[in-house]
Amino acid sequence: MKIMFYDTKPYDKIWFQPMGEEMGFKIKFQEVKLNEDTAVLAKNYDAVCIFVNDDAGKETIQVLKEIGIRTILLRCAGFNNVDLKAAKDAGIQVLRVPSYSPEAVAEYAMGLLLTVNRQIHRAYVRTRDFNYNINGLMGIDLVGKTAGVIGTGKIGQMMIDILKGFKMNIIAYDPYPVEGLDVEYVDLDQLFERSDVISLHCPLTKDTKHIINKKSISKMKDGVILVNTSRGALINTSDLIDALMERKFTGVGLDVYEEEDAYFFEDKSNDIITDEDLIRLTSFRNVVLTSHQAFFTKDAMEAIARVTLENAKAVEDGLELKNLVLP
């Protein structure tokens, strides 16, 4: 099988190149993202491998079909950037990595929570300038507080375990509750009303897009802490900024951003940023925004490469496609 990789970085090559060669695949790496214009680069290949900010929409799918691509390999868990119906109609199989390291993402989410609560990011900047004044850096004890977890898949479950270690009271929402999970399931309204901390661990779908919006924010406690390590569009950015202006949140920890595809994973330090929402978000002292790195550990990268290439091998050998994604 010949596989064209899109939107690749040096760390992708470190893991995929040797493993791919060992499994007998011919791999070519492209730095450009997949879209309607760049899809033709995969001509004469059997599959494309894409990441979270590649565009596998209807128009791109059509080009892939015309050049003979029959498989899309997602080296991630989310698939909101793929038009699954168009892919099925085109006879293109879509496979993903459903679980690589839920521990990595949950641990990072907890890190964001601790950072914005205790304002570690601000303390670090102060002491770098030899300013040892702690005024304005006061946080809260997490023990005994209520944490609301939206989404109880593998990452959400790991987050629940971590929060329990801090002796927090845990409530959760998921349209498909996990049987036997030791947590109190509630509806969304109750979760918004009762939580001191809210952490998002659900996929981006038509039902979850902007699950955090003006209406849901209005139901939250004043001083709530919000953490998102899932997908940026779970939050209506404009509504979040309005709430930050009104001092609704004690802190917000974001590893994702609604319009991140134009910025994240790239060095934009020498560019003039024109995204007004992004500029405003980074101006709030109680907001920590990082560049979609919650997954980024050695363990996770090894697992992503292995499962992605195992998916390719299953296609090549006509085996059961355990990680096939359907509309």
Residue 323 included in any domain:
no
- Amino acid 51: pLDDT: 96
Domain count, the chain: 2
- Does the pLDDT at position 101 exceed 90? no
Provide the 10 A C-beta neighbour count for residue 77.
21
93/183 same-domain check? no
Residue 325 included in any domain:
no
Count CA atoms within 13 Å of residue 119 on its CB side. 17
79/122 same-domain check? no
Residue 312 included in any domain:
yes
Q: Is 247 a catalytic residue?
A: no
122/183 same-domain check? yes
Supply the CATH number for residue 42's domain: 3.40.50.720
List the 184-185 sheet strands across, edge first: 184-185, 169-173, 146-150, 197-200, 224-228, 249-254, 287-289
Given 194, 201, 231, 258, the catalytic residue: 231
Determine the length of the chain: 327
Residue 7 included in any domain:
yes
Please report, rounded to a whole number, the percentage of residues in the chain having pLDDT higher than 90: 97
Residue 205 included in any domain:
yes
Q: For 103-144, how does the pLDDT look when each residue is reduced to its tens digit (9 = 90+)?
A: 999 999 999 999 999 999 999 999 999 999 999 999 999 999
212/305 same-domain check? no
Give the pLDDT band (50/70/90) at residue 224: very high
134/84 same-domain check? no
109/156 same-domain check? yes
Residue 322 included in any domain:
no
Residue 235 included in any domain:
yes
Q: Is 121 a catalytic residue?
A: no
- Does the pLDDT at position 261 exceed 90? no
270/302 same-domain check? no
163/262 same-domain check? yes
Mean pLDDT, all residues of the chain: 96
What integer is the mean pLDDT of 182-206?
Answer: 97
Given 292, 302, 306, 320, the catalytic residue: 292
Q: For 309-319, how does the pLDDT look when each residue is reduced to its tens digit (9 = 90+)?
A: 999 999 999 99
Q: For 47-67, how does the pLDDT look when each residue is reduced to its tens digit (9 = 90+)?
A: 999 999 999 999 999 999 999
228/135 same-domain check? yes
Q: In angstroms, rounded to a whole number, what is the distance separating the alpha carbons of residues 249 and 196?
A: 10
Given 260, 266, 280, 310, the catalytic residue: 260
162/219 same-domain check? yes
173/237 same-domain check? yes
Here the tokens at position 41 are 């680069």
Give the pLDDT band (50/70/90) at residue 100: confident
Q: Is 292 a catalytic residue?
A: yes
Domain span holding position 43: 2-100+297-317
Give the pLDDT band (50/70/90) at residue 157: very high
- Amino acid 63: pLDDT: 98
111/86 same-domain check? no
